[in-house]
Structures are given as structure tokens and as C-alpha cells.
Amino acid sequence: MPAIPAATVANLRDLGTLPLGAGRSVRSGLVFRSAQLDRLEAEDAVVAGLGIRTVIDFRTEAERAERPDRVPAGTRTLVADVLADYLATSGLPPAARLKTLLSDPALAEEHLGGGRAQAAFARTYRAFVNTDSARASYRAFLTELGDPFAGPVLFHCTAGKDRTGWAATVLLSLLGADEETVLAEYLAVNPGVREAFAPLIEGFTLQGGDPELALALLGVVPEYLEAALDEVAVRHGTMEKYVREGLGVPDEVTDIIRERLTVYAA
């Protein structure tokens, strides 16, 4: 699924056309993912042409205040702060402070060197499943997609890779995508994220920072996603039960999501 070449939005992609098996695929033009929209310009015809009606913002209050979204005219914003509870108990996770960490190699090494970055991301991904704020946020996301009158939706966090990646994983799993497709879609953000943050990576390494640590912060790896999937398996057994019992999304809403977002080959 190639990125949509928008000049002012990083890592913008349509989940449409992804295969779901049995001759089915995700319907195009209804659900998009991206990085934050703080640089979106009204004259960006590529984004305007998508007809986005709702933007779902998974970022923390501090992230939203520092870099407010610019949304297309006539678009409503739904705030869904995934990490609010994690923030209250464990502090700001790496996913929500990328710029700070990448501007200070010594700080990054102190807090996240020696494999601690990977462990921190695994804890964060488990929090996507087991905290109340995350459950409420992903419930809001699916509820919006389950509105039969909803228009095209764009969902995002800061880099568009972690909180956003889990949302895409949940949705694609509900629609029936196999594990290989889900993982490939999850990992497909890496080139776009690295391109968007290239100046930060370069500055980090020029100051003596470990490039592998920068990539651990900015990229995604299968182990991050596996942590969240394991949390689902331990707590709920299946993705269906996680959505029904953990998120509190009724089966009727899930049925509408599948009807709206699935297309069959001619």
C-alpha cells in the first residue's frame, strides 16, 4: 500500500485495496492513516481531494498543544487520547516525545540505550490494550467507523506509527485480514517515517547519537506489535473478544464496519 504523495502530510495512506481473503479487500476512499496534521496547507489538493469528514487524533494533550492539527475545511476533529492513563502512571512514553529524545543523544542513551527503547515500546503497546484511556480511544475510533452515515475518516498520532498502527491492526483484523497482511501494513510506515524525520536523525547522529537507537525510536518492528497482540491473547483470547468485551463495541457496530469497509472483487 504505497503512501499518498501529499506535500504537507507525512505518511498518508489509504487502507483501501488491502486484501482480506476470499476475493475481498478493504474499500478504498473511506479510511486513511497519517502522521500529525500540523503542517497541512489548505491548498494541498491531494488531501483536499480525499474528502475527509472526520479526523481522529490519538495524541496526548501536550502533543496537540505543541503542534495543533490543521484540518480541511468542514472537517470535524475527534480527540481520542490513547496514552492519557499511561501518562498519569508511567510518564511520557517514547512515542510521545520523539523530538525531545532525538534532540539530545545523551538523554536518549541514558533513558533508552541498551535495549531499553524496545522494552519501553513493548510496555506502551501493552498499554494500548489494558488502559482505560486506550480502550475508550479505540472504542471511539471503531464507533466512528461503524456509523453508516460517516464519511471518509483519517486517524493519526504524531509519527503515525504506534498508536495509529495499533488502530489499523485492530481494524484490519476485524475485517478478516490475515497475520501476514496485518504485519506488512504495520511495517509499511517505516520508509515514510524515516523520510519525515530525516533531519532529526541526521542531527542526532551528528551529535554522536547511536543511529540504531534513532531507528528504534522512529521505526516499528514486529516485536512492538507482538506485545500488544500478546496482551490481547492473555486478557481476551481473541481480537473479536477484545473488541466486544475490552472495548465495549457491540457486534452490530462491528457488522456495520465490515459491511461499509469490505468490497468484493467483480
Taking the whole predicted model, whether its pTM rises above 0.85 is answered as yes
Report the topology of domain 13-261.
Protein-Tyrosine Phosphatase; Chain A (3.90.190)
pLDDT digits (tens, 9 = 90+) for 164-205: 999 999 999 999 999 999 999 999 999 888 888 888 888 888
pLDDT digits (tens, 9 = 90+) for 11-34: 999 999 999 988 999 999 999 999
Asked whether the beta carbons of 107 and 101 are under 8 A apart, the reply is yes
- How many Cβ atoms sit within 10 Å of the Cβ of residue 124? 24
